[in-house]
Amino acid sequence: MLTASSIAQILVNGLTAGAFYVLMALGFTLIFGILRLVNFAHGEFYMLGAFVVYHLYAQLGLNFFVALAAAAVAVGVVGIVVERVVFAPLRSRELSMLMSALGLQIAVQGIMAVLEGIEGLSLASPVSGVYRSQWITFPYERLLVVGVAFVVLAGFYGFIKHSKIGRALRAVAQDGEAALMQGIPVNRIYAVAFGVGSGLAAIAGGLIGPVFSLHVYMGQAALLKAFVVVILGGLGSVPGALVGGLVLGLAESLFATLFGGLTSDMLGFLMIMGILLWKPTGLLGRAEA
Amino acid sequence: MVSPNRQGRWVTPAFLVLAVGFAFLAPTLFESSFWLHLFDMMLVNALMALGLNVILKTGQISLAHAGFMAIGAYTSAQLTVKLGLPFLAGFLLGGLLAALAAFVVGRVILRLKGVYFLLFTFALSEFLFLLSKNTPALTGGNTGVVGIKPPALPFLAEPLRSKAAFYYLALVILTLAVAFVAALYRSPFGRAMNAVRESELLAGATGYDPMRVKVIAFSVGCLLAGLGGSLFAHFLLYIAQFSFTFWESVNFLLMNIVGGTASLAGPIIGAMIITPLPEFLRAYVVWQQVLYGLVLMLFMRFLPDGVVSLLGPPYRALAGWLGRLGRPAPVEEAVPGAGEGS
């Protein structure tokens, strides 16, 4: 039986999960939109972000937000280097790029397993306490996820919409060859897109670390979520990532309340099945991905 | 663009005769159980990589191949262990069930273009994995299925217990499969597959139903995956989930790419190269994963058309047909299978 308060609670939980999924899918969809690369290593940048935050915040005692920003920048720089070294030489060979992304995924996991070990680590949340009203309980650490996601999204929107680099990004996403002829340094834009996308994944990882435990293989589950979101919303579509992420978060939250035991991955899968039967290019996707 | 049909007319039969001839001698040249085990696995993997090659030929990249391998493996294992069916019945039913599943699922998911198909098959493989975890009655859950018997054939007195005996069974099955796929590629249907890969729109205009071609190719590819899975089960005599992970699917794709997608020799050569890789990396257990990833990246960087591209002119001519998967493509064909107008 759904009461008004349980509906409110479903919304709150769904919003938290959704905010996280949006962050995860945003970088993934950006990288696809610009590089035409299905980045299987995206989950690894998320994992790297979580570990950077863990070391800076939990071990060195830096301010959480400073650690988060540092993780975004550091992983973003790693992303730029990776793009230059691994993907730039394979430009426009989609299958080679895809396989390299898989190789990168497993190599990064392996390196991190050597460096960090494979045990799960837990991380104290930077905020504690719970907001309670007669309707909902909203743990502050979840509120933090939603808040940071909102700020990052607003920043990302401004960057894409109004900055010079943002305009170049949109131009390349629309038509790489035409952008090149307009004198846009396309190669640099590829690197920027990969860096920004990786940085976004790192923020998602740093945020989720306090909520769950972190371990070297945490990227896999997050990657699957990003996949579901981009299939829902359409690959390469930024509004699609936003809508898809929130839809998935809310649907999972609703199902968890109604049916409990059903694993959320199964739900995501069934949702994609349904959506694709109805519309083979995702909710907001274009005909050709 | 060289017409692959002309060039390939003599290459595959010649390759087959030579390869089978050499392959028959292999167990007599290598006595050690270690090598025989690897050879057996190479043949089984080659069968599954060959299946994936059929799917790739229509321009679809599937990452759910290990899932269909699992269907074949579990079907055959359970039918022979629980119901006491003979090996051949389990083997064929395992393949058929995988093909049937591919046919049913394929009708839905093959509407997806290029990258969407790829993403979906990735999700599908994860889903099948979850499903196998939650249906212990079918899969034995985490413990898997034990007590699988080695293959027994009706016209042989003894089951094929030794690695050498199994080798010849797998070799015969693989040879039949290669002959079948070669015939398929040469048939009008094979030309339809090429047409669908190059441009669905044009293929549709020439009277083929692209959807039908893709569904049949997907089913045939998964049939081979199911048969391979069944062989795999009767070779190891024990199966569990960890044999059918997403990375196994990646391995089959890697075999095709490393060997070269452009000829039938590709997936087989690829299976011969990739199968021993974990064994050779075993000395560096900690770094095994890292090395595997690096090998993968280096291959993509320096040998994108596969080993077959090193084998001289006849194969290089063949390497044209999947050029879009290995060579720089025009911008509008940025995604394999997604670019409709070219």
User: How many CA atoms, within 13 angstroms, populate the side-chain half-sphere of residue B239?
Assistant: 29
A10-14, A197-201, B313-317 — which is least confidently predicted?
B313-317
Read off the pLDDT band of B251 (50, 70, 90): very high
Ramachandran angles phi, psi of A130, nearest 5°: -140, 135
**Quick check: A277 and B108 CB within 8 A?**
yes
CA distance B20 to chain A (A): 31
Give the pLDDT confidence score for residue B18 in this predicted structure: 65
Give the pLDDT confidence score for residue B51 in this predicted structure: 97
**Quick check: B328 and A111 CB within 8 A?**
no
User: pTM of the predicted model, to two decimals?
Assistant: 0.84
Ramachandran angles phi, psi of B145, nearest 5°: -115, 125
Nearest to B300 among A96, A109, A289 (CB): A96
Give the pLDDT confidence score for residue B341 in this predicted structure: 34
pLDDT exceeds 80 at position A244: yes
User: Which pLDDT tens digit goes with each residue over B132-158?
Assistant: 877 888 888 778 888 898 898 888 877
B119: chain A residues, CB-CB within 8 Å: 38, 227, 230-231, 235
CA distance B31 to chain A (A): 34
Read off the pLDDT band of A288 (50, 70, 90): very low
Cα B39-B257-A220 angle, rounded to 5 deg: 95
**Quick check: A227 and B122 CB within 8 A?**
yes
**Quick check: B296 and A108 CB within 8 A?**
no
Mutate to test the interface with B, among A39, A82, A96 (most CBs of B within 10 A): A96
Cα separation of B181 and B56, whole Å? Answer: 13
A99: chain B residues, CB-CB within 8 Å: 250, 253-254, 257, 296, 299-300
| A198 in Cβ contact with A76 (< 8 Å) | yes
**Quick check: A111 and B290 CB within 8 A?**
yes
A237: chain B residues, CB-CB within 8 Å: none
Give the pLDDT confidence score for residue B322 in this predicted structure: 38
- Exposure string of B61-100, with b = 16+ CB inside 10 Å and e = fewer, is bbbbbbbbbbbbbbbbbbbbbeeeeebeebbbbbbbbbbb
Give the pLDDT confidence score for residue B212 in this predicted structure: 93
Q: Kind and range of the H or E element at A132?
A: strand A130-132
pLDDT exceeds 50 at position B337: no
User: Which pLDDT tens digit goes with each residue over A94-112?
Assistant: 888 999 999 999 999 999 9
